[in-house]
Amino acid sequence: MIQNVVWYSTFIFILLIAAIFLWVAMSAKQEKEYTPIVKKWYKVRSVYGIVLVVLMVVVTIYTLRELPFNKPAHVAGADVIDVNVEAFQFGFDIEQREFKVGDTVKFNVTTDDVTHGFGLYQPNMDMIAQTQAMPEYTNSIYVTFEEPGLYKVLCLEYCGLAHHQMADEITVVK
């Protein structure tokens, strides 16, 4: 959805800029006094600047509104299971690997060696959550398991020669 909005808005802006350049090129052949033109374009530039700032604020708010900055609202009343995860070259030490459908889990992800990624994938390999595992820092992500199956945990940050083998599994039962 957001990619389509970005694509269409970019396309519209490219056409708008091309039209402005075309109009400037066509009107450059006409001789006019320069001072009134400058005054006119100061006004246009001010309006354009204000419209651009308002548009960027709207786009920023629209695209950032769903980021999980803190504990998501949909888990406010739920019992949250804390699970510590430590990534290492080349694996994961996951404190608990089996959950029930409907469980809300807070994964506290860290590492002691190099930066790793923690990507959690549904059984059909759609990513449902991801964060980085960074030395001396703990990132937390919340996941509510909605369907049973074997969930994959993959490293998303190149961490060395055996990075491609850095995978683990979590089981969700009914």
Beta-strand (E) ranges in the chain? 80-88, 91-94, 98-100, 104-111, 116-121, 127-133, 139-144, 149-154, 167-173
pLDDT at 125: 92
- What is the average per-residue pLDDT within 147-160? 94
160-170: pLDDT as tens digits: 999 999 999 99
Cβ-proximal residues to 116 (8 Å cutoff; 6+ apart), any chain: 87, 88, 132, 133, 155, 156, 157, 159, 166
- Of the ranges 61-70, 92-101, 143-152, which one carries the lowest mean pLDDT score? 61-70
What are the helix and strand counts (H, E) for the chain?
2, 9
- So where are the chain's domains? 2-64, 73-173
DSSP 65-87: TT---SS-GGGSSSPEEEEEEEE
- What is the average per-residue pLDDT within 131-147? 92
Does the pLDDT of residue 56 top 80, yes or no?
yes
pLDDT at 67: 63
C-alpha to C-alpha distances, 22 to 8, 10, 14, 48, 107, nearest whole angstrom: 21, 18, 12, 17, 55
CATH 2.60.40.420 matches 73-173:
yes
pLDDT at 36: 75
18-53: pLDDT as tens digits: 999 888 888 777 666 677 777 777 888 888 889 999
User: At which residue do the structure tokens 């390999």 appear?
Assistant: 125
User: At which residue do the structure tokens 């990507």 appear?
Assistant: 119
Does the pLDDT of residue 72 top 80, yes or no?
no
